[in-house]
Every structure is written in structure tokens, then in C-alpha cells.
A and B are shown apart, each in its own frame.
Chain A
Amino acid sequence: QVQLVQSGAEVKKPGASVKVSCKTSGYTFTSYAMHWVRQAPGQRPEWMGWINTATGGTEYSRKVQDRVSITRDTSASAAYMDLDSLRSEDTAIYYCATIAGRTVYWGRGTLVTVSS
């Protein structure tokens, strides 16, 4: 079965960077795009960007495009999301998600807390 396993919670200081990993199994990694979504406390989910896992091409939301980088390692069937210059408003749960066939699969989320 399709599984997306994310890395553990992070606590970062303002100005630092964070890298969240998403390791997949149960399907051919390069067959489907990988999206990243975050959700701040009490807010709706916010789409951040996606990567074409076959080609490495990316697209980012305008809100974070200057600070985010999504990459993949096809040999590890994993995707990564880097976010730089962290601010308190980046405190959120970060999810990877993919549409495999008819279903949207989500990772369980990674809590990133930005606090001095």
C-alpha cells in the first residue's frame, strides 16, 4: 500500500532553515508528482509547491517561492522540502501529499515550530 513517511518534529530559531523529508513506498515514486502543504494552527491548509518526481521540475507558491526548495532523490524514493529564513509565522504542520491513481495520499505531517 502507498505510504508517505515524514521526518520528525523540528524546533528552530527565527532565521534558521529546516529540511523535512518524505519517504515513500508502495508505488513507483517517479510516476506521480509530490506536493507540499502546510497548515498553521487554526488555519486552512496552504499549498506550498510541487515537484515532478520524474524530471525534478518544480513550481512554488508566490508566498514562499523566495525561501522554499523542493527536491527529490529517486534512488531513495524520497522528496524533501527546505524552507529558509524561518519566521514565527512558519510555525505549522508540514505535509507531503501525492495523487496516486484516484486517491490523494498524505503523510502524517511534520510539526515545525519557530521560536526564539
Chain B
Amino acid sequence: DIQMTQSPSTLSASVGDRVTITCRVSQSINNWLAWYQQKPGKAPKYLIYRASSLESGVPSRFSGSGSGTEFTLTISSLQPDDFATYYCQQYNSYSPWTFGQGTKVEIK
């Protein structure tokens, strides 16, 4: 099974900060990596697909990068609405999915 290690598990930051979250994958996934934002009681919100493509409607302060087995999500200037938990996910239509353990972004 593909394993995903996300870090850090918790991140304390202030509005305006640049924030980076890392996701390491146990094997190459051909950039089939997505990033999600989740707030309490809500379904995950799709932010980034194929490692670096921004989903329509998602603010441009969110960006994804990386390839092979290491990927990052960057928020260039943290906004009040961005305090949430973020997950990376490896996905493909016709195979099992795996999620990272999550990064909770908290107010400093």
C-alpha cells in the first residue's frame, strides 16, 4: 500500500504569514496528488489537483508543487478563512486512494 507522511501535524501562524505543508509518498504516483481543505463538520474542499493545478474558484494564494515522492502546499499570505485542516491525497480513478494524516493550521 502507498503510505503518505504529511508534516507538520500542527502549524501555528498569523494572518499574512507564508505557510508550507509537505507530503511525502512512499512511491511514485505520477503526480496524482490532491490537496484539500477541511473545516469542522464539512466535506473536504478540493484545492489542488495533479500536484500543482489550482481548482477553479480557489484563491491564487494557494499553490502546489513537487513531483515524484515529495509535494508541498503553500499559502502565500494566510487569511482568516484559511484556518482549517489540510490533507494531501493520492488518487487515481481505478485504484485505492490514500490520505495524509492532516495538518491543522491554527491561529498563533
Of residues 75 to 93 in B, which have CB atoms within 8 Å of A's CB atoms?
87, 89, 91-93
Also in contact, A95 and B43, with CB within 8 A (given A102-B49, A102-B50, A103-B49):
yes
Cβ of A11 to closest chain B Cβ, rounded Å? 18
Contacting pair B49 A46 (CB below 8 A): no
Chain B residues, CB < 8 A from A61: 96
Contacting pair A102 B91 (CB below 8 A): no
Set A44, A107, A108, A109: member contacting B99, Cβ < 8 A: A44
Contact with B along A57-98 (1 / 0, CB 8 A): 001010000000000000000000000000000000001000
Contacting pair A50 B96 (CB below 8 A): yes
Cβ of A111 to closest chain B Cβ, rounded Å? 10
Chain B residues, CB < 8 A from A47: 96-99
Cβ of A55 to closest chain B Cβ, rounded Å? 11
Whose C-beta in chain B lies nearest to the C-beta of A36?
Answer: B97
Contacting pair A45 B96 (CB below 8 A): no
Residues in B lying within 8 Å of A, measured CB to CB = 34, 43-44, 46, 49-50, 53, 55-56, 87, 89, 91-102
